[in-house]
Structure 1
Amino acid sequence: MGKPALWEVSTQDGHVAGWLLGTVHVLPAGTRWETPRLDEALAKAGVLVVEVRDLGDSEAIAGIFRSLATDNPGPPLDLRLAPAERARLDALLERDDVDPDRFDGLETWGAALAIAQLDQSGDAANGADRVLLSQFKGRPIEELEGARAQLSIFDRLPAKDQHDLLMGVIDESNAGPQAQEQLAQAWLRGDTAEIEDLSRRGILSYPDLYKALLLDRNKAWVGKVAALLSSGRRPFVAVGAAHMLGDDGLPALLRARGFKVRRVQ
């Protein structure tokens, strides 16, 4: 049974105001990670806070993706890459037996996200966020971004950053499913040091992508989370594990706002 990292957030007078859980969005079927301490926090929580609330509405999310990713596709994907980069992409697509023209109608960021799905290990239906959404059905759920706002972050990336995103995805895909399994196992153990090391590779190794996809989002989220913590609603905040780590993570940002944050699992 897993034991993922869980943080308790308190006010300065010691009143428990909420909890933080870093999630992984894809897990193998049958993975067990619920614990008595986690169940206790969920039972006491007044509202679940996630990145995207309607994860189960795949048709609506796919429609948003298509509307954003196909409105300005540019030239064929391979013509957007240097010869050496093109060779890396072609090798990846050949390995997975994917038509190299399949992504030509997408903007570069859209192609990157689509390619990332090719070697996905596990099933998004088993992701921790979806499990929590299911458990909170009928109870208050709030989202920090929503699907359109989240995908719009990628859509607004400059061309250079979209290119770097694609190359980072290719690097991560070439690392194979064992890298995803390593991350999942580190998450199950609650090994935040290894999670931070693994998550800072690939796309987050590019400084501009780190800023756009992690730092800027954390800064946008922390005000919303702090307001919920101060409201007495006892939020259970469950977002991607990378958003919880290091000096730029939500625990550190909340401490800077005067909250007490301690790891309880």
Structure 2
Amino acid sequence: MRTLLLGCLLSSVVAHAEPPPDAPTALLETVVVSGVQPGPGLWKVSKGDHVLWVLGTLSPLPKRMSWESREVEGVIAQAQRVLLTPRVDLDVAGGAFTGIFLLPSLLKARNNPDKQTLAEVLPADLYARWQPLKRKYIGRSDSVEKRRPIFAAQELYEEATDDAGLRIDGKVGEAVEKLAKKHDVAREQPMIKVRLAEPRDALREFAKSQLDDIDCLRKTVDRLETDLPAMQLRANAWAVGDIEALRALPYVDQNQACRDAMLRNSIVQERGMGDLRERLAATWLTAAENTLRDNTVSFAVLPMSQVLGDEGYLATLRSRGYAVEAPQ
């Protein structure tokens, strides 16, 4: 259910857009790095003699890269607590058994109401830009033409990044959790739980409702037309730990428009999910401050946007009086 109805929202609600500079005008074809790579250094958040070390993660990352950091393992080995990436947990009433019978409704919810196609929903200029990208990355599939713009954008982005030698799930969070288990360190995953009491009714209403999601597809097309080479450079920079290169390559995150489309939907609003971003931020910041208070050494994983962004979680901790130091 998370992938089809709220996947664009729940999987990335923690991330914020980076402030956009002028886009790079011309980049040579980039060779994506492979093999074992160390990733970036760690940010240090401290108050007194208590320290929280933070690893910033990035998506997408090189597909053929394997991440291995001695620095991260060394810190986790001496830490008293590890904060995993914050997330939203969707609890469907009735559990997994109910979920099986929701599948037909889920599939229907991906599509435009009244059997409209993208050609009918999108402005003509945007549809003309969508078509060559769709042919290049998705192929001749007709099913995607029935999708709502937000889900068509998601499929296009996934296929394009894969074609560029990148993968959206870099599995860094999983590796961190394995290291914590290896060294027997307590783990905590800050999360908020959202309970969907009547999922079948919610899906039925969602399938009929309108989504203001054309801007989501437009910004996805914008990014794939102009930013794929820079996306590869960012992935390489993260892999080799080049923080300055990451700072020099901020971007307009199309996912922000996609998240906003979901959050503004009437069905999402009526079920108390319109403020997920703010609630998740408050949950993580509370967990981080408690962890810093109770442990001399701790470790956390956050999206790089929350580490580098002027309005990210680390900027908020700095404004609350914590010392925040970038890696040397």
TM above 0.5, one fold? yes
Match for 1:71 among 109, 114, 117? Answer: 109
Match for 1:200 among 251, 264, 268? Answer: 251
Does the CA-based 8 Å contact 2:38-2:240 persist in structure 1? yes
Kindly provide the CA deviation profile for residues 228-259 of structure 1, in whole angstroms up to 9, marking residues without a partner as x. Answer: 33232854221221121132122211111222
In structure 2, what residue type is equivalent to 1:47? Answer: V
- Secondary structure of the 1:50 match is coil
| Superposed displacement of residue 92, structure 1 | 0.3
How many angstroms apart in 2 are the aligned matches of 1:171 and 1:159?
20
How many angstroms apart in 2 are the aligned matches of 1:25 and 1:187?
10
Alignment TM-score, normalising by the size of structure 1 = 0.72
1:8 equivalent to 2:44? Answer: yes
Q: In the alignment, which residue of structure 1 is the partner of 2:75?
A: 41
Runs of 4+ in 1 over 6 A off after TM superposition: 62-69, 146-149, 212-215
Q: In the alignment, which residue of structure 2 is the partner of 1:134?
A: 178
| Superposed displacement of residue 129, structure 1 | 2.3
Kindly provide the CA deviation profile for residues 65-112 of structure 1, in whole angstroms up to 9, marking residues without a partner as x. Answer: 997685363232332211010011111011125235322454432322
Write the mapping of 1:121-200 to structure 2, written as runs, cut at 5 A: 121-124=165-168, 126-137=170-181, 139=184, 140-145=186-191, 159-160=211-212, 162-175=213-226, 177-196=228-247, 198-200=249-251
Distance 1:258-1:147 versus aligned 2 partners, 3 A rule: same
Q: Report which stretch shifted further, 191-200 or 1-10.
A: 191-200
| Superposed displacement of residue 167, structure 1 | 1.5
User: What is the count of residue pairs matched by the alignment?
Assistant: 248
Could you say which structure has the higher strand fraction?
Answer: 2
How many angstroms apart in 1 are the aligned matches of 2:122 and 2:135?
17
Match for 1:87 among 128, 132, 142? Answer: 128
Does the CA-based 8 Å contact 2:49-2:296 persist in structure 1? no
Distance 1:148-1:240 versus aligned 2 partners, 3 A rule: farther
Q: Which runs of 5+ in 1 are unaligned?
A: 55-59, 150-154
In structure 2, what residue type is equivalent to 1:238? Answer: V
Does the CA-based 8 Å contact 1:70-1:105 persist in structure 2? no
**Larger-gyration structure (1/2):** 2
Q: Report which stretch shifted further, 107-116 or 243-252.
A: 107-116
